[in-house]
Structure 1
C-alpha cells in the first residue's frame, strides 16, 4: 500500500471566499469546483506529508496549513499589499526556513515558507 496524496480539508460555510487568496496570492489552480467544495492544486508531483505539532516553532501557534513557495519574500509583499493579516512576521528561522504566517479569509493561519536562501 502506498499513500498517493494527502489533502488538507478546511471547513468553511462559503468556500468561494478563499478563492482569491489561494489562487491569486499563492498561484494555485482551481482543479475541482462542486460549489460546496473547491480543490486547489499546484502543478507537478508532490510528496505526501503530514505534520503533528505541539507548537509552530519559535513559540508560535500551530498553523492550520503550511505552504512552501519558491519566493517567500514575494508572497509576503503580495500578502501585505492585499491587506491580509500577517500573524507572524517574515522571519529567518534557526532550522533553515524563511517564513511568515498570514490569516486567510476563512480565519485560518497559513504558514508560508521557503527552505534555504
Structure 2
C-alpha cells in the first residue's frame, strides 16, 4: 500500500463553531467539502489542510487520520492478511468514497480511503 496523502481528522463538537479558527486564524480558507458531520479546510497557498469531524456518519468509531490510497481493495486484503482489526468493513459510501477503518497496533483508528473518479 502506498499513501498518496494523509489528512488529520480533528474531533470537534460543532463544525460551525470550530470553522472560524481554522479558516480565519490558521488561513485554511478553502472549504473543499462539508457533509454536515465532516468538513475539510485547505490553505490555497500551501495546500496544508485539516479535516474536522463531529462523528463518523456510518462507522461506529472515529478515525484520527484518513489515508488516501489508489487501491483500497488491495489494502483491505493486506490488512486482513496481517491480522489487523477492521473496525468498519470495506464499504462504498453514499458520498462517493470506498473505504474501511482499521485499528493500528497503538489503538488509533485509521480511515483508509479511495476516492472514485
Q: TM-score range by the shorter chain?
A: 0.5 to 0.7
Listed as ranges, the matches of 1:3-18 within 5 Å are none
Q: TM-score, normalised by structure 1?
A: 0.58
Residue number in structure 2 paired with 1:54: 54
Residue 75 (structure 2) pairs with residue 75 (structure 1): yes
What secondary structure sits across from 1:51 in the alignment?
strand
Runs of 4+ aligned residues of structure 1 deviating over 3 Å after TM superposition are none
Aligned length: 75
Give unpaired runs (5+ residues) of structure 1. 1-5, 9-45
Superposition deviation, residue 7 in structure 1: 8.3
RMSD: 2.2
Higher strand share: 2
Cα deviation code 1:60-107 (max 9, x no counterpart): 332111100000000000000000000000000000000000000100
Residue number in structure 2 paired with 1:84: 84
CA distance in 2, matches of 1:115, 1:61: 20
Give unpaired runs (5+ residues) of structure 2. 1-5, 9-45
